Amino acid sequence: MTIDFKKVIEENKEQFYQDLDRILQIPSVKGEPAPNAPFGEEPKAALEEVMTLAKAYGFKTAIVNDAVGYAQLGEGEEYIGVVGHLDVVPAGDGWSFPPFKLSKKEGRFYGRGILDNKGPIMACLFGLKLLKENNAQFNKPIRIIFGTDEENGSSDIPLYLSEEKPPIFGFTPDCKYPVVYGERGIVNYELITTFEDGELAKMGDFIGDQARDHVPDDLALEIAGHTVTVQGKRAPSNAPELGKNAITLLAQEIIDQKITMGRLADYFTWIVKSLAEKHTGEGLGIDFSDADSGKLMLTPYQLKKEENKLILSIAVRYPVSVTEEEVTENLTKQLPLNTKLTVVRRIKSTHFPKENKNIQKLSKVYEEATGLDGTPVTTTGATYARFVPNIVAFGPSFPGQKGIAHNQDEYMDETDLLMNMEIYMRGMLAITEE
């Protein structure tokens, strides 16, 4: 049977938007653990609401260890998995639309999670519903899997895999197109610089929104009788070149105004010379690159004061052919005086054979649906593909779309959302074939 994907999607899109809005309205930011809610009550509420929808769609559903849910079509132990997440980063300030609601203006949808990742994973679920209703034939069971802790380390996945087998193949709709066969290694460092007693006495705390998921965009500091305030531009931490980093802007302002002297002035000068607009590590001697994954990516994301110490946190995404040890060795040679380096997060790179038949199937699906080049690529991001065996990242962002996910007014064009649904419907059919 031949399915007219565009016609089927068009006829059912309004129902999809209503169902998606139900999920977007739940502010599923990680919270304090609660009974039967290891990542907080809101992520669990989102999971339960999706399971209610999936059951109404006619799927077999289950929640595993209160952390991960799934909707399955077909029976059998070996299954194809589509793995997304329902947790989101905090909304932050500066929205033009209600962050926890599906809003539409001039053909564009807005809302926290519309791109990362509620919109795409719900498009997979609804797309599977449409395939079922149109009597599509699958040769393997297919399972749409919903996580609740991807944004904070993916500690939900071990809870799932402790009870369930991993998929034999699958994808996560949480990155970019075409198929992503490799993800760079990630290492986060704290650079802890110790000062003499009294050297930081005239400095207050750094005030602003600083977190590892984004380039900080506003910072204020009381120092030596001055109030220094800077306004940068927020961007995802894996796309620092799209932002203006408030940490380096603040350091530059302190130096330009000659607010401090001695070692503290040297420290802020080091920040400027080593980090300002030097996103590929060239200021620290770690500008590694390779043919598969391109250049290393460096993002300072937090600066804080603790007693007589300044602690600078940086995230490094390094090419698949480079080791964490190489990065650390070179970085250690470039640190300011009295600075200790500590690793606070590490995720090894992943590399899936791009010649794999299922990767080739997804590449072909992408080309047929879009008319674009489907050659597999690598990414600076970190997805569930690092934690769930046998899956790769596939969409939802198209070439040229970057730096949207964790910002204010997170958006996705309606045409792109519907194109994603079509690609995922085609993809699920293709990779369940023998």
Rounded to two decimals, what is the model's pTM? Answer: 0.79
The CA–CA distances, whole Å, from 54 to 70, 139, 178, 386 equal 9, 21, 28, 26
Complete domains list, the chain, with CATH: 5-183+350-431 (3.40.630.10), 185-347 (3.30.70.360)
pLDDT at 1: 58
Write out the two tokens for 161.
């895999």
pLDDT at 434: 67
CB-CB contact of 204 with 225 (8 Å): no
Per-residue model confidence as pLDDT tens digits over 223-274 = 999 999 999 999 989 899 999 999 999 999 999 999 999 999 999 999 999 9
pLDDT at 353: 86
Using DSSP, state whether 122 is helix, strand or coil: helix
Using DSSP, state whether 376 is helix, strand or coil: coil
Nearest partner of 178 among 1, 20, 5, 398, judged by Cα: 398
Nearest partner of 128 among 166, 71, 83, 172, judged by Cα: 71
What gap in Å lies between CA 138 and CA 129, rounded to an integer?
13
What gap in Å lies between CA 340 and CA 311, rounded to an integer?
10
Angle, to 10 degrees, between the axis of helix 357-370 and the axis of helix 414-431?
A: 140
What gap in Å lies between CA 362 and CA 354, rounded to an integer?
11
The CA–CA distances, whole Å, from 28 to 89, 148, 211, 349, 407 equal 8, 8, 17, 28, 16
Low-confidence ranges of the chain (pLDDT < 70): 1, 434
Per-residue model confidence as pLDDT tens digits over 282-326 = 999 999 998 888 899 999 999 999 999 999 999 999 998 899 999
pLDDT at 235: 92
